[in-house]
Structure 1
Amino acid sequence: MFSYDFKNQIEKLSSKNPSFFELPDFLFFQPELQLSWNNSEISSSQPLPPEIFNLVCPKPKTTSINIHSQTSKEEYLKNFRMIQDEIREGNTYEMNYCIAYQADFEDMDPVYTFLRLNKKSPMPFAALFKAGEKYILSASPERFLKKTGNQLIAQPIKGTAKRGQNEAEDLKNKKQLHASEKERAENLMITDLMRNDLSKVSEIGSVEVPELFGLYSFPRVHQMISTVSATLKPNATFRQIIEATFPMGSMTGAPKIITMELIEQFENFKRGWFSGALGFINESGDFDFSVIIRSIILDQSSKKLYFAVGSAITIDAEAEQEYDECLLKANAILEVLSGK
């Protein structure tokens, strides 16, 4: 797991905004137990002690949760205008501006909450991560980076539309997303950024875009996803790959370094694990990492949690639409936390 703030160890950057609770910049561990299952068939790397199921079986609990937005709509609209001024000045072309929600809770079962979130919003990169008293409950739709042999693929998401109330409205929203010049421009800028990042550790001429502006439908949103592929240089190390590509462009904007400085200026919270990367590395060195979005990050010891949502601001973006997109992305988590 890489925190977004690991960026400070890669570039000359800092994260001075207040944090909800302290989180390490990265965590790696070798599992003692590995499980895989197909329907009702479970295979394990070693015999399973009976008590293992007591650790993972969810225990439904009612809890008092008070959710607070860290950024009012008025503050969002004000910052939106100031970010567009930065774009007019030529300091950035596109910035992923995020707003956070924070909550205190009395009692919560993270496994139960995770299962409810992923029942309400099933996603291809769903993940439950525990590190001591701290958890990530993720319903992420986005892949950051995957390595298979000497091949790398990145799949940045830029472009969002809500699902329709019926089939006709749903198809209309999907077509409008695919035809939107604004959404295409956002996606193309980040795709180009990822092409540039991958080229730093890849064979010359091997970086390609096998899919541009692909449309994928999820329970609550349609997303525009592009795929960038590359062939690694023979001696490229894991560290070099991560340092060349992290943080992912979809969560920063372009150009990356100055835009991250602006993110620090305009956002009012320390991102921590939000918009970092979560994944695994197998025995052969292949890996697969997701982007930590649509995710609840909680600390059982302090009884606090937070999550954040954002969207890309460009010169053509409209403030009300971008704010509504943030609310759309927050909807599933807000419903789960409020018991709906």
Structure 2
Amino acid sequence: MVSDESIRQFTKMNEMGREQVPFLFIIDFELRNPVVVPIADLAEFQILFDINGYRNFSHHSDTFHPIKMSKKPVTYKKYKKSYDIVAKNLKYGNSFLVNLTHKTEIDINLSLSTLFFQSAAKYKLLYNNQFLVFSPETFIKINDGMISSFPMKGTIEKDRPNAEEIILSDPKELAEHVTIVDLIRNDLSKIASDVKTLRFRFIDEIKTSQKDLLQVSSEITGRLPENYTSKIGDMLLALLPAGSVSGAPKVKTMDIIKQSEQADRGFFTGVFGYFNGRDLDSGVMIRFMEKVGETYYFRSGGGITVNSNPQSEYQEMIDKVYVPFA
């Protein structure tokens, strides 16, 4: 449920958009605690970001520190318990696709700050030394009145024989991707006209500290109304939470996520981005590491459909615990 404070923050975005004031936004998954900061005031906050090359810091260091990371994922038994709740709802037709996530405790030899400067991703964020994002996934971009979204669904190890052919021909992966593309098209149609899929299921390569991955995305576009800058907050509110990290249909699927995960996600799988007064770029907060006390956690998951295999989904959740490097 959207809080009163959230409404104030989204309204603030409308007002700054109307005045063409550049700002940074960081919006949590549950839409309860959004952070909106005018770029002119960023020095007052402990926030570092790099949004597709637009950043608020200078070059840090060329020194590379080898990473040592071990994973302590939830047990398969615990994962299966939440998976079964999702599977039951899918069987009954309450949802077509549910994004199921869990925390993985990790031991790591580097600080969040060191990892921020050393990692490579389209969207990087270090917030108050509490959590770190190195996300490959674009949420939305706005350029000269055109809005684009790039939902990402489908991951496979690059070194696997015939990896690209396997991921693109897998019927489960195809069904999942089609569902998300349809959801995003419907979401964009709430705020834009002439919505269409420009590219369907193209491949991106991601290098990580453990293995190189291939990930599948699509590109969907639409035309915004002339006065869109005065409605930035309203548009974000209409599109959130991101379909690729929730599921379809969105409202019912959010209930299923709450039942199965038994905990709020907070900023994990929310979105963050930058508005420059006319154009906007933003990423989905996946590939998410947080520090709770002295313990580090990495949060990950994947889309579940009626054709999913719980053991494969459990392994995918673990495989997505990585740090991407150039």
TM-score (norm 1): 0.74
Query: Are positions 1:241 and 2:221 aligned together?
Result: no
Which runs of no fewer than 5 residues in structure 1 stay unpaired? 10-23, 38-43, 46-51
**Contact 1:296–1:307 under 8 Å retained in 2:** yes
Give the secondary structure class of the aligned counterpart of 1:247.
coil
Question: In structure 1, what is the equivalent of residue 314 of structure 2?
Answer: 323
Identify if the C-alpha distance between structure 1 residues 61 and 149 changes in structure 2 by more than 3 Å, giving closer, same or farther. closer
**Contact 2:60–2:117 under 8 Å retained in 1:** no
Measured against aligned partners, the alpha-carbon deviations of 1:75-111 in whole angstroms (never above 9, x if no partner) come to 2123223311111111111000001124689x96432
**Residue correspondence of structure 1 range 176-255 to structure 2 within 5 A:** 176-203=166-193, 206-219=194-207, 220-236=212-228, 237-255=231-249
**Residue correspondence of structure 1 range 90-109 to structure 2 within 5 A:** 90-102=93-105, 109=111
**Residue correspondence of structure 1 range 260-275 to structure 2 within 5 A:** 260-275=254-269
Identify if the C-alpha distance between structure 1 residues 264 and 229 changes in structure 2 by more than 3 Å, giving closer, same or farther. same
Measured against aligned partners, the alpha-carbon deviations of 1:219-239 in whole angstroms (never above 9, x if no partner) come to 221111011100012233101
Identity level (%) = 25
For residue 114 of structure 2, the aligned residue among 109, 112, 115 is 112
Instruction: Work out the CA distance in 2 between the residues paired with 1:298 and 1:62.
Output: 20
Query: Are positions 1:83 and 2:86 aligned together?
Result: yes
- How far is the alpha carbon of 1:303 from its aligned partner? 3.5
Quote the RMSD (CA, aligned, Å).
Answer: 3.4
Instruction: Work out the CA distance in 2 between the residues paired with 1:62 and 1:201.
Output: 45
**Contact 1:178–1:215 under 8 Å retained in 2:** no
Question: In structure 1, what is the equivalent of residue 27 of structure 2?
Answer: 2
**Contact 1:58–1:109 under 8 Å retained in 2:** no
Question: In structure 1, what is the equivalent of residue 14 of structure 2?
Answer: none
Runs of 4+ in 1 over 6 A off after TM superposition: 58-67
Question: In structure 2, what is the equivalent of residue 161 of structure 1?
Answer: 156
Instruction: Work out the CA distance in 2 between the residues paired with 1:109 and 1:74.
Output: 31
**Contact 2:290–2:298 under 8 Å retained in 1:** yes
- How far is the alpha carbon of 1:317 from its aligned partner? 0.8
**Contact 1:152–1:231 under 8 Å retained in 2:** yes
Letter in 1 for 2:199: E
For residue 259 of structure 1, the aligned residue among 229, 253, 257 is 253
**Contact 1:87–1:315 under 8 Å retained in 2:** yes
Instruction: Work out the CA distance in 2 between the residues paired with 1:135 and 1:189.
Output: 30
Give the secondary structure class of the aligned counterpart of 1:28.
strand
Instruction: Work out the CA distance in 2 between the residues paired with 1:234 and 1:191.
Output: 25
- How far is the alpha carbon of 1:272 from its aligned partner? 1.0
Instruction: Work out the CA distance in 1 between the residues paired with 2:99 and 2:252.
Output: 12
Instruction: Work out the CA distance in 1 between the residues paired with 2:310 and 2:321.
Output: 17
TM-score (norm 2): 0.77
Identify if the C-alpha distance between structure 1 residues 265 and 101 changes in structure 2 by more than 3 Å, giving closer, same or farther. same
Between structure 1 and structure 2, the one with the greater Rg is 1
Instruction: Work out the CA distance in 2 between the residues paired with 1:273 and 1:67.
Output: 21
- Provide the aligned length of Structure 1 versus Structure 2: 287
Instruction: Work out the CA distance in 2 between the residues paired with 1:60 and 1:159.
Output: 30
Measured against aligned partners, the alpha-carbon deviations of 1:2-59 in whole angstroms (never above 9, x if no partner) come to 11121xx5xxxxxxxxxxxxxx433424245899x9xxxxxx99xxxxxx98x95699
**Residue correspondence of structure 1 range 12-23 to structure 2 within 5 A:** none
Letter in 1 for 2:126: F
For residue 129 of structure 1, the aligned residue among 126, 130, 142 is 126
Instruction: Work out the CA distance in 1 between the residues paired with 2:215 and 2:69.
Output: 30
Letter in 1 for 2:121: M
Instruction: Work out the CA distance in 1 between the residues paired with 2:27 and 2:63.
Output: 29
Instruction: Work out the CA distance in 2 between the residues paired with 1:327 and 1:67.
Output: 8
Letter in 1 for 2:213: V
**Contact 1:25–1:272 under 8 Å retained in 2:** no
Letter in 2 for 1:280: Y
Measured against aligned partners, the alpha-carbon deviations of 1:216-260 in whole angstroms (never above 9, x if no partner) come to 222221111011100012233101210111111000000001101
For residue 141 of structure 1, the aligned residue among 136, 140, 149 is 136
**Contact 2:116–2:126 under 8 Å retained in 1:** no
- How far is the alpha carbon of 1:293 from its aligned partner? 0.9
